[in-house]
Amino acid sequence: MLQHKKIILGVCGSIAAYKAALLTRLLIKSEADVQVIMTPAASDFITPLTLATLSKRPALSKFVRDAQGSWNNHVELGLWADALVIAPLSAHTLAKMAHGQCDTLLLATYLSARCPVFVAPAMDLDMYAHPTTVENLARLRSFGNRVLDAEQGELASGLHGTGRMAEPEHIVAALEAFFAPTRKRLAGKKALVTAGPTFEAIDPVRFIGNHSTGKMGYALAEALRDEGADVTLLSGPTHLPDPAGIQTRRVQTAQEMFDAAQAPFAEADLAVFAAAVADYTPREVATQKIKKTDDDLFIPLKRTPDIAQELGKRKRPGQLTVGFALETHDEEHHALGKLTRKNLDWIVLNSLNDPGAGFGHDTNKVTLHGRNGEVRQFALKSKVEVARDLVDTMVASLRTLPQHKELSANE
């Protein structure tokens, strides 16, 4: 499965760095192309010569290669790789990755990489269990990185517990499983996802908006893409980059999002309405900045199109639709009302009363309500993990529809 795969092996300063030699050997034996990048501290535990000999490439650790000024281009390295594997991952480098620090070639390559990232932490048991380590690993997972959990055994300190780097054979097995050719469950299906807020202009300076960051919708679009769906993402204003492999269209207002959704919804096998669309917009937009006066200001508002509800009226047999309800009170009552009113198959309920849920967080806690009365509750998870749970539900729902019977036949 790894033949001709281009693997960057990142090695950090840890006593477990000696295992990088065996891992390199196993990857080469699997006919992968291996490029080792070491942190400066890693050479205190294993020599660059050893890893260069085994990988058949120079082991890199510095930006500048020689006195003539030639350099190791971290951007090219990040684009070259099919996978970046950091094993062992030290607590020090983990903390830097979790917070975007970039003072080594390995970290710069990590921030430049567009490929899947696997990390295998290695540290003493108390370090591994420390709340900051747990939080940093959770942050890495929320970014979409894959954590190969530390294993149990005797540690360098003499203690016995969890903290050992995953065995090289286990890391190679995880890579082989990831690259194994399988038919993706939504191959051939088309999906529409809306995400982010809408901004409704008051004048050239001000607008009506909300705190949505788009993270949940983007995670759903990427999870659908990863299952083989042809995804169209309609995004309100966010700071998130366009996801790779997804047709992304940026809009500003509710009306623009509604107009942009018409054509892709007509072709979609499934549609996920995750955007936090403004319910009201100014009846008239001032052409000049409204100046402050001593009087109160009243701005007449009008309703915006309810995108999920309007498109729900055009829903065809075999088409699956999923909506979101972010509530602050009477949560279930309001969510079930939307489920019926908008002709949805599922409504995803999250409450601002749940810590870690809602806008701005990398985590979410959701309850799924189905039109058939089914209820599925999920614990607080990263939005990436929540997205995968929701996609699993969508796939299972599509399987029950005659129009998508090939989903079961191809499992």
Looking up tokens 């699993």 gives 392
Q: 89-121 pLDDT, tens per residue? A: 999 999 999 999 999 999 999 999 999 999 999
Both tokens of 308, joined, read 């999920």
Binding residues for CTP: 279, 289, 324, 338, 342
Cβ atoms 172, 2 nearer than 8 A: yes
- CA-to-CA distance for 25 and 152, rounded, in angstroms? 23
With tokens 């990489």, the residue in question is 113
| Residue 210: active-site member | yes
- Domains of the chain by start residue, with CATH: 6-179 (3.40.50.1950), 190-409 (3.40.50.10300)
* CA gap 98, 253 in Å, rounded: 33
Mean pLDDT (whole number) for 294-322: 95
- The identity of residue 184, as a single letter, is K
DSSP secondary-structure letter at 402?
Answer: G
pLDDT tens for 31-52 read 999 999 999 999 999 999 999 9
Rounded mean pLDDT of the chain?
91
- The type of residue at 132 is T
Least confident of 18-27, 60-69, 245-254, 264-273: 60-69
As a whole number, mean pLDDT of residues 147-171 equals 89
Q: Are 327 and 367 in contact (CB under 8 A)?
A: no
| Bigger pLDDT: 183 vs 102 | 102
pLDDT of 256 reads 97
Q: What's the CA gap between 327 and 378, in Å, rounded? A: 17
CA of residue 58 relative to chain centroid, distance: 33
Q: What is the DSSP string of 96-165?
A: HHHTT---SHHHHHHHH--S-EEEEE---HHHHHSHHHHHHHHHHHHTT-EE---EEEE-TTS-EEEEEP
Tokens of 10: 């990142």
Length of the chain: 411
DSSP string, 305-348: P-HHHHHHTT--TT-EEEEEEEESSSHHHHHHHHHHHTT-SEEE
Burial class of residue 336 in the structure, from the number of CB atoms within 10 Å of its CB (0-12 exposed, 13-18 middle, 19+ buried): middle
- Return the minimum-mean-pLDDT range out of 141-155, 169-183, 287-301: 169-183
**Is 50 exceeded by the pLDDT of residue 411?**
no
Out of 72, 136, 145, 210, pick the active-site residue: 210
Q: Are the C-beta atoms of residues 115 and 82 closer than 8 Å to each other?
A: yes
Average the pLDDT over 189-200 and give the result: 97
161 Cα distance to chain centroid: 31
User: Considering the entire predicted model, what is its pTM?
Assistant: 0.61
Q: Would you state the structure tokens that stand for residue 255, as one six-digit string?
A: 């009306």
Contact between 153 and 164 (Cβ < 8 Å):
yes
Contact 60, 33 (CB under 8 A): no
Tell whether the torsion through CA atoms of 288, 292, 298 and 303 is positive or negative.
Answer: positive
Q: Which helix (H) or strand (E) holds 105?
A: helix 105-112
Peptide bond between residue 204 and the one before it cis (omega within 30 degrees of 0): no
DSSP of 199-244, one letter per residue? -EESSSS-EE-----SHHHHHHHHHHHHTT-EEEEEE-S-SPPPPT
CA neighbours within 13 Å on the CB side: how many for 278?
A: 27
Q: What backbone torsions phi and psi does residue 108 show, to the nearest 5 degrees?
A: -65, -40
Q: Across the chain, which distance is largest between two alpha carbons, in Å?
A: 78
Buried b (16+ CB within 10 A) or exposed e, 246-266: bebeebbbbbbbbebbeebbe
pLDDT band for position 182 (50/70/90)? low
Tokens 């499934």 -> residue: 270
Is the confidence at residue 19, as pLDDT, over 70? yes
How far apart, in whole angstroms, are the C-alpha atoms of residue 29 and residue 282? 65
As a whole number of angstroms, the distance between CA 214 and CA 97 comes to 22
Written in H, E and C, the secondary structure of 49-92 is HHHHHHHCCCCECCCECCCCCCECCHHHHHHHCCEEEEEEECHH
Whole-number pLDDT of residue 177:
80
Give the model confidence (pLDDT) of 229-239 as tens digits: 999 999 999 99
